[in-house]
Amino acid sequence: MTDLKTIKRGFDKEVDTWNSLYGLGDSPIKGRYAFFQKNARDRTIKRMKLSIKLLNPAPGMKILDIGCGSGVFNKAIVSKGAYWVGTDVSCNMLIFGKKDSGNIVEKTMWVNGNGETLPFKDGAFDGILCIGMVNFLKKTRFAGLLNEMGKVLKTGGVIVFTSLRLDILTWVRSRLYPKVPLPVSSPGPIYPIHYKNILKAIDTSTFECVDMIHMKKYFGLPHYTIFKLLKK
């Protein structure tokens, strides 16, 4: 079974659990997140706000959200006057998100797909978000994913994405998936990438890294790095 099929199966099963981390839907925090919940949601919301700030959506902009899940970013982006297009491998996530869109449906579009084969015209978007998705693909596929994003991004557009850092818990989750049980396990295999290796993989003839923010979690352990790239 390919990584994409595994990830699709994992997220299709975990719509309510995953969305509870973002405070979506009516379900209380449960599943794996109940175990780590003292600061997990706060970290997630902080990362979300930082990502939106770096993206800086404005009226008329077209934003692509790769690995969008249930569209947790769409309302914040549309509230700035921008258009939001989300793509994800999980149909269940997309269905949940579309139902939860409320009165912003006219400025949103939901596409079942993945970031490695984007079904859009070259230069179709002013900005791209890719939050929490990169590390569900093997490290060797990052450069191809970034190249695909670059194709559909306009010159002068920005990409904001995150990469998971390696700590003890993430090491266990990434090395022992799917043998470890919930809440330690994840919806799919995890491949953490150190920020220095991300920087090495960026084609500097196409992109400039204009911002990089390191985020920590409990006990000061490294968590995510948020990158902002500018297409030259």
Query: Which CATH architecture does the domain made up of 3-231 adopt?
Result: 3-Layer(aba) Sandwich (3.40)
CA 3 to each of CA 6, 126, 186: distance values in angstroms, whole numbers, following the listed order? 5, 29, 13
CA 81 to each of CA 27, 73, 99, 102, 138: distance values in angstroms, whole numbers, following the listed order? 29, 13, 21, 16, 35
pTM of structure: 0.91
Q: Which amino acid does the sequence have at 43?
A: R
Determine the distance from the C-alpha atom of residue 153 to the mean position of all C-alpha atoms in its chain, rounded to a whole number.
Answer: 17
Task: Encode 148-158: b = buried (16+ Cβ within 10 Å), e = exposed.
Answer: bbbebbeeebb
| Ordered per-residue pLDDT tens for the chain, 232 residues | 467 888 888 888 878 777 766 665 555 555 455 555 555 677 788 888 999 999 999 999 999 999 999 898 999 999 999 999 999 999 999 998 888 777 777 899 999 999 999 999 999 999 999 999 999 998 899 999 999 999 999 999 999 999 998 877 777 777 778 887 766 678 888 899 999 999 999 999 999 999 999 998 777 778 899 999 999 9
DSSP 8-state class, residue 29: S
Residue with tokens 């579009």: 109
Neighbours of 179 (CB within 10 A): 9
Residue with tokens 């970013």: 73
Dig out the tokens for 112 from the structure: 């079942």
Residue with tokens 């790769």: 66
Half-sphere exposure of 50 (CA within 13 A, CB side): 19
Dig out the tokens for 160 from the structure: 């904001």
Q: Do 56 and 230 form a contact (C-beta atoms < 8 A)?
A: no
Q: Do 164 and 224 form a contact (C-beta atoms < 8 A)?
A: yes
